[in-house]
Amino acid sequence: MIKRLPNTILLNQRQRKVADLIHKKLAGFFKKEVHDPRLFAVVLTAVTVSSDLKRARVFYTFLEDRNLLEIQKTLNKATNYLRCLLAKVIMLRYVPFLLFCYDTSIERGNQILCLLNGLSTSRRTIDEGL
């Protein structure tokens, strides 16, 4: 007897597969197809897809110090071009609308790391004083 998985689990697996595929294809496009010098330092960190697979949030960061607003505007202008490229390589009924979001997790991680380093330094000075 075959057990059936609940629809939510199947949907989550489908969302994850579609998100991974979009992430992989977009990363390839940024390497080969996008020739805008403002976007050379952009790194895609994650993609999430809505339950109906019609919207995808593409999280990005950049390696160099760049103007966030300029990059966001450039990505927004490139959205339709990237959707056209996606339509050629993925077989979905609807190509998801792409929404680019700046990923702050790396910055938050660095802030937490600095705080932890500060705590360990202050703890050492307290321990040495005793």
Q: Averaging pLDDT over each range in 7-16, 31-40, 88-97, which range is the top one?
A: 88-97
pTM: 0.76
pLDDT value at residue 113: 81
Across the chain, mean pLDDT equals 83
Q: Please report, for the chain, the start and end positions of each structural domain, with discontinuous segments joined by +.
A: 7-104
| CATH number of the 7-104 domain | 3.30.300.20
Which own/partner pairs from 100-106 qualify as long-range (CB within 8 Å, at least 24 positions apart)? 100/57, 100/58, 100/60, 100/72, 100/75, 100/76, 101/57, 101/58, 101/59, 101/60, 102/59, 102/60, 102/61, 102/68, 102/72, 103/45, 103/46, 103/59, 103/60, 103/61, 105/45, 106/45, 106/61
Q: Which residue has the higher pLDDT, 11 or 79?
A: 79
Whether 55 has a pLDDT exceeding 70, the answer reads: yes
Q: Which residue has the higher pLDDT, 56 or 105?
A: 56
pLDDT value at residue 17: 93
